[in-house]
Amino acid sequence: SQKIEQNSEALNIQEGKTATLTCNYTNYSPAYLQWYRQDPGRGPVFLLLIRENEKEKRKERLKVTFDTTLKQSLFHITASQPADSATYLCALEDNYGQNFVFGPGTRLSVLP
Amino acid sequence: IAGITQAPTSQILAAGRRMTLRCTQDMRHNAMYWYRQDLGLGLRLIHYSNTAGTTGKGEVPDGYSVSRANTDDFPLTLASAVPSQTSVYFCASSESSGGAYNEQFFGPGTRLTVL
């Protein structure tokens, strides 16, 4: 069956450290993968999109990798700040190239 | 610039009642989506529309219907609400469906409780 898993439901790290979030998928072959941020009581906000032929994408303190062999994407936040605390969702293109399917999310807490 | 608006913000509804959640976007996006978000299950697609006049079923369409009479509006209707439809509902839009132009813009959500 098709499945998207994100490393853990919650992740706590110390301010200034690099946060690494994992998105693993089974029985999908996405050409595109996205990451979103969601704050409590609000809708998700798009952060980054990475294509299957791109190994890595960066945006300011964010870095995303996409390994189609491992069927995994890693999302890194360097020099993390308490303001980075939120839930982060990965989303990947479904097998019809029609819509994106979301993972369950990882709730990140950056502790001062 | 409003982006996407949803109404109502929250609603408590008796089981068996009919309810329409409203969604409007002002970005002239072609594609629109309705998701429900439940604890532990993440965002699940209910229905989508690739362009005005067309709609499609997502992962969990049963008990819901949609229409897309124009580009801006995409209402979601619960014909006869049941308690399992208690959830937070998000409307989203994107320039197009699928591919590299599918950056989705989400509304603020509607919190629906069915008793």
User: For B32-68, how does the pLDDT look when each residue is reduced to its tens digit (9 = 90+)?
Assistant: 999 999 987 889 999 999 999 999 999 999 999 999 9
Q: Write out the DSSP string of B20-75.
A: EEEEEESS--SEEEEEEEETTTEEEEEEEESSTT--EE-SS-TTEEE--SSSSB--
**Rounded-to-10 torsion of CA B21, B78, B31, B46:** 120
Confidence band of A2 (pLDDT split at 50, 70, 90): confident
Q: Which of A32, A49, A105 sits opposite B42 (nearest CB)?
A: A105
Residue in B46, B87, B102 to test binding to A, most A beta-carbons within 10 Å: B102
- For A18-43, the pLDDT digits (tens) are 999 999 999 998 989 999 999 999 99
Paired tokens of A66: 């996409």
Residue with tokens 């219907």: B65
CA angle B27, A89, B98 (to 5 degrees): 50
- For B79-89, the pLDDT digits (tens) are 999 999 999 99
Is the minimum CB–CB distance between A28 and chain B shorter than 8 Å? no
pLDDT at A95: 85
